[in-house]
Amino acid sequence: MDKVALVTGGSGALGGAIVRRLTGDGWRVAFTWKNGREAADALGKETGAAGFRADLTSPGDAAAAVSGVLERFGRLDALVNNAGLTQIMPFALIEEEDWDEVMAANLKTMFLATREAARHMIQRRSGVIVNIGSLAGHRLLDVPVHYAAAKAGVTGFTMALAREFARYNIRVNEVVPGLLSRGVGSMVPPKELEEYVRYCAAGRPGEPEEVAEVVAFLMSDRAGYVNARSYFVDGGI
């Protein structure tokens, strides 16, 4: 396969699973990382994917990351917006800087990375974008308010972008993971974890690899008639 994909936040649990799944499918893959050089280096060594250190809340870093992918591979066919973070704190203790940090990490990164990648995709009139949302933005759950608000924004971003980019033959979808066993999910307090498992039809947290399977499908030609949709991978909540 000659196609090239960029995965943001690739060195985390879910990002790493997506990188591994795509390279296994024959994609040429690049990923960004901000913290955790050892994990990023190990992932690159394991998969052959190219890692780019970038703070995607910075327009300059976002532009440099996409330029680096184009310089190395000569094209960019797909973008997975996976970068993000959360903070576990009650609403009354959220400071303005906390709110801004979470919004920037989950939405601004998505905007800046997509803007840079889309400029190339629009020129080629072809591309696929998959945005990683969260069940926190769709369900009545005991989750941090600023994180839930940011992840709800991913859905609006996806729908509007899909409508605008349809004229360029660029598909845009959202994948909505439920609670996962690793990554952000590992920060969930035991009480909330027990409650989730109780109401989850699958009776357990999910695995990053299970989410990566859906991402890989949406990026493939098999999903050519799938656009502007939110796909839940939550075990049934």
| Share of residues in the chain with pLDDT > 70 (%) | 100
Distance between CA atoms of residues 223 and 208, nearest Å: 20
4-7 and 78-81: which strand pairing?
Answer: parallel
What is the per-residue pLDDT across 213-234, written as a single tens digit (0 to 9) for each? 999 999 999 999 999 999 999 9
Q: Which residues are catalytic?
A: 147
pTM over 0.85: yes
Confidence of residue 187 (pLDDT cuts 50, 70, 90): confident
We find that the CATH architecture of domain 4-233 is 3-Layer(aba) Sandwich (3.40)
Helices 13-24 and 37-47 pack at an angle, to 10 degrees, of 10
